[in-house]
Structure 1
Amino acid sequence: MMYCSHCCGIEKEFDQKHAARDLKRYRKRGPGKTTRWLLDTITAWGLHGNVVLDIGGGVGAITHSLLEAGARKAIFVEASSAYMDAAQEEARRQGHFERMTFLHGNFVDLAEHIPPADIVTLERVLCCYPDVHTLVRESAARAQKIYGLVYPVEGPMTRIAWLVINSYLRLKRNPFRVYLHPTEIVNDLVQSQGLRQIFYKRTLLWQIVVFAR
């Protein structure tokens, strides 16, 4: 089970104010740069009739793009109630609501009830979760074709940034924390589920990795 303090921290950090801001930005600009790189790689493999599992999907940028590009349906998992509300609002606006199954909560806690999907995505999710081993194993095991990740690069910049962020969260008495999980461990966990890396790109802070079965 997710630690209660971490769960409460997610609700506090990813609140209605943040969700409204991100939804407004998404409607104005579309998916962000790292999201677009992930989407371009996934859509190149073809989406017709596929099922998507989007874990920690935020306002739904990945899900809506993949449904628009030909995916048949999507399972959308989000731990923040504010972001879940925003994603559902956007799904109705885009006409995708009936093709989406919405699950509110921690994916690891819900995993045994979630079926496999052709495409599984976690964008900027690993850095929000303390138990990377269980999160990656459970999510990668459900990827029948494609598994896409966006998570922090290990390096001085991210270490400093994460230290500053966590210090600020402590000052605010918010139990939420950000995490910097080693790339080697993440890769080993994914590959242990029978997936191989087919795409890699990085920015100063983020790495975009796609695996295929």
Structure 2
Amino acid sequence: MDDCCSAGGDSRAPDRLADGRYDAVFDERFAQRIARQYSKRGLTPSEQHIVDYLADEVGIVGARVLEIGGGVGELQLALLERGAANTVNLELSSAYEATAGRLAAAAGVGDRVTRTVGLDLAERPNAVDEADIVVLHRVVCCYPDADRLLSAAADRARRALVFSHPPRNLVSRAGAVSVNLMMWLVGRSYRGFIHSPDAMVDVLARHGLQAGYRHRDRGWCIVGAQR
């Protein structure tokens, strides 16, 4: 979910309808724009840091990867290329699926990617099998209850979890206020959030994951934690 919270494979029938507040913001035009950027430039710097951390410090060869809110799946394609066995993507917006499918088919990994739309992990944590690695990139800022989301994600992670979040400063808070005001003015229910970084790391610790990796680039802070 680039720009704040902003794969072929079989797309499983959703357990419920995708959440309309996400569909309205992260729509097909948004998905196509992200795909074009990826096709032209490859991974963003923050995405590359996530892949390098997982490949170099955690180990991804043969791993099952669960990504929550993976959008068009560019991170998953990179992890599969580096040796992951398969990936599962959970998405609350249905608009990514066609574009994600084309990207995965073009990469020749459609049979190694599973995508599920409409399953909120925080609400139904046991509806998804555990994975070796869980990834949440540009996601927690789109979800109102970071504690519940990260708790559910941590319980699905057998070995490691990596997530990103905006820096918590005056600039990011002002940006969130501006975005939320705009959403309110146009009648959309989507809201962005700037959660406490320390509180999010504490959630992982309560679930047995120790944060040993931190990186900050221009727009995102990345936290990697292992059991």
Match of 1:139 in 2: 153
* Deviates most, 83-92 or 148-157: 83-92
Counterpart Cα distance in 1 of 2:223 and 2:105: 30
Q: Deviations over 1:108-128 (max 9, x none)?
A: 244322111111000010000
Matched, 1:113 2:127: yes
Counterpart Cα distance in 2 of 1:150 and 1:86: 23
Task: Select 1:84's aligned residue among 81, 93, 97.
Answer: 97
Match of 1:197 in 2: 211
Matched, 1:163 2:191: no
Matched, 1:32 2:44: yes
CA RMSD of aligned residues (A): 1.5
3-state SS, counterpart of residue 121 of structure 1: strand
Tell me the CA shift for residue 130 of structure 1.
0.7
How many matched pairs?
Answer: 209
Tell me the CA shift for residue 91 of structure 1.
1.1
Match of 1:17 in 2: 29
Counterpart Cα distance in 1 of 2:209 and 2:121: 20
Match of 2:3 in 1: none
Contact 1:128 1:178 in 2 (8 A): yes
Runs of 4+ in structure 1 off by over 2 angstroms are 106-111
Matched, 1:93 2:106: yes
Counterpart Cα distance in 2 of 1:126 and 1:112: 19
Task: Select 2:116's aligned residue among 87, 100, 103.
Answer: 103
Contact 1:15 1:83 in 2 (8 A): yes
Tell me the CA shift for residue 140 of structure 1.
0.9
3-state SS, counterpart of residue 19 of structure 1: helix
Contact 1:158 1:205 in 2 (8 A): no
- Within a 5 Å distance, the mapping from 1:123-138 to structure 2 comes to 123-138=137-152
Counterpart Cα distance in 1 of 2:215 and 2:36: 27
Q: Deviations over 1:48-95 (max 9, x none)?
A: 111000110011011111111001111111111111222122111111
Counterpart Cα distance in 2 of 1:77 and 1:133: 18
Task: Select 1:61's aligned residue among 67, 71, 74.
Answer: 74
Gaps spanning 5+ residues in structure 2: where? 1-15
Counterpart Cα distance in 2 of 1:38 and 1:15: 25
3-state SS, counterpart of residue 136 of structure 1: helix
Contact 1:157 1:205 in 2 (8 A): no
3-state SS, counterpart of residue 107 of structure 1: coil
Give percent identity, aligned residues only.
31
Q: Which amino acid is the alignment partner of residue 98 of structure 1?
A: D
Matched, 1:154 2:153: no
TM-score, normalised on structure 2?
0.88
* Deviates most, 45-54 or 9-18: 45-54
Contact 1:19 1:82 in 2 (8 A): yes
3-state SS, counterpart of residue 158 of structure 1: helix
Match of 1:43 in 2: 55
